[in-house]
Structure 1
Amino acid sequence: MALPQTGQAPLDRARARVLILGALSLVALGLFLTLGVPGGAWGFALPFRAGKLVALVLVAYAIATSTQLFHAATRNQILTPAIMGFDALYLMLQAGSVFFIGAMATQDLDPILKFSLEVIVMMVFSTGLFLWLFSTQARDLYLLVLVGIIFGTLFRSLSSFISRMIDPNDFVVVQGATFAQFNTVNIDLLWISLVLCAFTVPVLWLLRHQFDVLALGRDTAINLGLPYRRVMLITFATVGLLVSVSTALVGPVTFFGLLVTHLAYRLLPGARFGPTWIAASLVAVITLVGGQAVFEHVLGFKGTLSVVIDLLGGLVFLTLLLKGAQR
């Protein structure tokens, strides 16, 4: 991994590009709120769109942050939490709840209670799996990919098995959770998601320099005095929390984090964790909010943003794999 750039000129360029991204994100927010609103419908349209806008911003922040944290911890910019089986775990939880208590009971559950249980399960999975992996010496890309594929295949197989056993009418509920739905954001979870995401901001900001050290590798980080296990525990617990927030609000999104983080890496080559984190979050806001504004208010729902995001993100993933193979 390349060392972060130092010196005043790179810092000035990074600040300028972050400011430009901030301005573009404000433009995207304004377009989403105002585009296509009839003259006499402002009183209804603005509050309705504002709730969805906050949810989209939270999703953008959660996905971008969790992906970049994962890159810092694994020292690999190809892997993402979704590739490691998080989305499959989420789908298995949805299918399991429908199978054991029924579709009606699942929909009647308190959204906050259901969300809390999902957060706990995914945080336990993330911290347990990744701390076990990184407590060993074999920490190469192939082991991580293999473990992710195994767990993802296990969870998907269980979800498929459960889906075949439930009533076809109940299966509609499970199928609805399979794809990301940016058009129908779960507003009931908005406030608790906002609190959880807001809690992570100061924590990550205070630890931003430690993440730079963490990205240098386990041995180097320990030699430099980093409390390695504590930082890793915080990192993977935060990843599990943020993935839970994003999937609970819109559903699983596989390649969005990979897409926006690599755009941020291109815009700020060699930058430290702090500026890159801000840039990735702003790129995610621009992509998600701006894209949804176009698909919803310009194209009139004639396309699906999640399909375009997965297509572009998948191309980025394949490009990174091919570049790695050429090396």
Structure 2
Amino acid sequence: MTTIASDDTQVVAPRFKLSRPALVLLILSALAVVSVVCFMTIGAKGSWSFVIPFRGRKLLGLILVAYSVAVSTVMFQTATNNRILTPSIMGFDQLYVLLQTSLVFFFGIGSLVSLDPTVHFTLEVVVMVGFASLLFSWLFVWQERSLHLLVLVGIVFGIMFRSLILFMQRIMDPNAFNVLQDTFFASFSRIDTQHMLFAYVITGIVSVFIVRMLPVFDVLNLGRANAINLGVNYRRSITSMLMMISVLVAISAALVGPVTFFGLLVASLAHSLVGTSRHKYVLPAAALLAIICLVGGQTILERVFEFDTALSIIIEFLGGIVFIMLVLRRMAR
């Protein structure tokens, strides 16, 4: 409060001061808006009636993927009580590649084209959600597992999926493999926009449950024992979190493909910038950072470099560096 003195009276003028998390969210929101405006306007030629729907669908896809990856990573780190793990490290990327390879191996290369897109999208989501539900429930719900076992299980599943993938690739037709190879890497320039409405509806439903459980997430962040002592139904809460994480990861993978370190990158930056572990600040900060990275990065890639490189390669490279730094920091402690 600031006191302003006058001849007869004193006027107390309130002085507003934003907290650090609120200021960070305000700045990130402004940068996200700038990224969106630049993506929609820079280099736009011709009729706006064509440009807005064309770029708008792509923009909505980028925002959805950014939100899904960022939120699922932060929630997964809360569930595991560890900030160097992501859902992709647990073998999600290899499971996605295995699913695509199996379709081509058993049904031919025409299955990627002839299979109904809705059936293909639904199949990917159902398989990945089912796998995640079984794996995460065994790891975290039925009893508390060690971090070493968690990493080991993720590595084992990744190696097993990769071995199956290599086996099928070696005996399949080379022409089919060349076509299939394009689906092995995340592509933010060819997002599947046919199921955008369905994906947004599912993500919106999941987001409603996430908002309702924000206080529970803060308690779970204290660890299993503390959460139970504070009255949280640990098994039910973790099961709900893992189901929501599975849905978000499945949707992002089905739209753009496997993304390994992007979530780790934005989650680590969000924690560093916000300076608090409260999820009502960390989750939107991570989502805004992901939007800035994807939308801003795609704008630079398309307008400056003219598709001379792939955005996923740059993001995964930076995310891998962050992962190594976090591991080295933990080892130093």
TM-score range, shorter chain: over 0.9
Distance 1:37 1:125 in 2: 43
TM-superposition CA deviations, 1:277-311 (whole Å, max 9, x none): 00000000001100000001222111211111011
Aligned to 1:19: 26
Moved more, 214-223 or 51-60: 214-223
- Cα distance between partner residues in 1 of 2:264 and 2:111: 35
**Quick check: which has more Rg, 1 or 2?**
2
5 Å-filtered alignment, 1:253-272, equals 253-272=259-278
> Measured at CA, do residues 200 and 305 of structure 1 come closer, stay the same or move farther in structure 2, by a change above 3 Å?
same
Q: Is the 8 A contact 1:163 1:174 kept in 2?
A: no
1:105-124 to 2 correspondence within 5 Å? 105-124=111-130
Q: C-alpha offsets along residues 196-248 of structure 1, whole Å, 9 cap, x if unaligned?
A: 11111111000011011111122221221112111111111111111111111
1:217 aligns with 2:223: yes
Matched residue of 1:36: which SS?
coil
> Hey, what's the Cα distance between the residues in 1 that align with 2:224 and 2:179?
43
Q: For 2:263 and 2:61, how far apart are their aligned partners in 1?
A: 16
C-alpha RMSD of matched pairs (Å): 1.6
Determine the C-alpha separation between the residues in 1 that align with 2:30 and 2:170: 49
1:103 is the counterpart of 2:104: no
Give, in whole Å, the separation in 2 of the partners of 1:184 and 1:135: 37
Counterpart residue number, 1:156: 162
- Structure 1 residue 185: Cα displacement: 1.0
* Structure 2 runs not aligned, ≥5 long: 1-15
Contact 1:60 1:281 in 2 (8 A): yes
Match in the other structure for 1:168: 174
Structure 2 residue aligned with 1:85? 91
Moved more, 40-49 or 276-285: 40-49
Query: Is the CA contact 1:14–1:271 (under 8 Å) kept in the aligned structure 2?
Result: no
- Distance in 1 (CA, whole Å) between partners of 2:123 and 2:220 is 30
CA contact (8 A) 2:185 2:257 kept: yes
Contact preservation (8 Å) 1:67, 1:261 = yes
**Offset, 1:141:** 2.2
Q: CA deviation at 1:160?
A: 1.3
Q: Which runs of 5+ in 1 are unaligned?
A: 1-8
What are the Cα deviations for residues 6-57 of structure 1, in whole angstroms up to 9, with x where unaligned?
Answer: xxx997221121111111101100100111112x342322211100000000
Listed one character per residue, the Cα deviations across residues 146-179 of structure 1 (whole Å, up to 9, x for unaligned) are 1100001111111111112221122133211111
> After superposition, where does 1:235-314 map in structure 2 within 5 Å?
235-314=241-320
Task: Tell me, in whole angstroms, the C-alpha distance in 1 between the residues paired with 2:94 and 2:323.
Answer: 18
* Distance across 1 between alignment mates of 2:47 and 2:166: 44
Compared CA separation, residues 10 and 165, structure 1 to 2 (3 A):
farther
Number of the residue aligned with 1:231 = 237
TM-fit CA distance, 1:271 = 3.4
**Partner residue in 2 for 1:33:** 40
Match of 2:70 in 1: 64
Identity %: 47
What TM-score, normalized to structure 2? 0.92
Kept in 2, the 8 Å contact 1:87–1:253? The answer is yes
The match for 1:321 is: 327
Asked if 2 retains the 8 angstrom alpha-carbon contact of 1:87 and 1:254, the reply is yes
